[in-house]
Amino acid sequence: MKLLILGATGPTGRHVVDLAVRSGDSVTAFVRNPATLGDLAERVTPVTGDATSQHDLTAAAVGHDAIVSALGRGSSVRADGLFTRASTAVTGAARKADVPRLVWLSSFGVGHTFGWSSSAQKLIYGTLLRSIYADKAIADESIRSSGLDWTVVYPTRLTNGPAKGTYRADDRLPMKGNPTISRADVAAFLHAAARGGEWIHRTAVISD
């Protein structure tokens, strides 16, 4: 399978790239600065661009079977419009380049899932993460109305622990406290979702 991976230099994106390459996929890593790919650079086709540019993304997306996004704002708590701008650019590029499948990483607590959050989660989502979550809510809706074969993925708090493979994934999960899931497990879900049809047109909540 030919995969275009956005956010390939981030901690979750790196896991997706690694898994995809090890599964025999042909991987294009869409990056702002190829130097930050490090040793992954030899195993992928790096394409330089900005994920808020439909022009850059269209050129990169031609000939791929699916796009997986692990875009994020790193340690910043300000969205700076990244998710709304990137969702518009990615959906436009996918349609133009005729790539039907899009797997988009969001966050649990965004949009309609806020109402399903525990009180501990609501406290964080409504304060520290407010800017990011407001931007993601608009972006996620534009993905869902894109006409593409989308999946929007809502993990709980991310850790850098190893993949356990024992996480739960469903359209809705009960929440207590502030549960976590490792980036390695999130990457495994993103990759599996891109390869299969089970999660098309669905929002996936994933957590340990």
Ligand X SMILES: NC(=O)c1ccc[n+]([C@@H]2O[C@H](COP(=O)([O-])OP(=O)(O)OC[C@H]3O[C@@H](n4cnc5c(N)ncnc54)[C@H](OP(=O)(O)O)[C@@H]3O)[C@@H](O)[C@H]2O)c1
Positions touching ligand X (CB under 6 A) are 7, 9-13, 32-33, 36, 50-52, 70-74, 82, 105, 107, 132, 155, 157-158, 183
CA distance 28 to 4: 5
What are the phi and psi torsion angles at 187 (to 5°)?
-60, -40
User: Among residues 123 and 197, whose Cβ is nearest to ligand X?
Assistant: 123
User: Among residues 25 and 56, whose Cβ is nearest to ligand X?
Assistant: 56
For the bound state, the minimum distance from the C-beta of residue 118 to ligand X, rounded and expressed in Å, comes to 14
For the bound state, the minimum distance from the C-beta of residue 176 to ligand X, rounded and expressed in Å, comes to 17
For the bound state, the minimum distance from the C-beta of residue 190 to ligand X, rounded and expressed in Å, comes to 10
User: Among residues 66 and 189, whose Cβ is nearest to ligand X?
Assistant: 189
Kindly report the length of the chain.
Answer: 208
Which DSSP letter does residue 3 get?
Answer: E
User: Among residues 160 and 197, whose Cβ is nearest to ligand X?
Assistant: 160
Dihedral angle of Cα 47, 15, 42, 28, to the nearest 10 degrees: -30
Start-to-end Cα distance in the chain: 28
CA distance 15 to 35: 17
For the bound state, the minimum distance from the C-beta of residue 68 to ligand X, rounded and expressed in Å, comes to 11
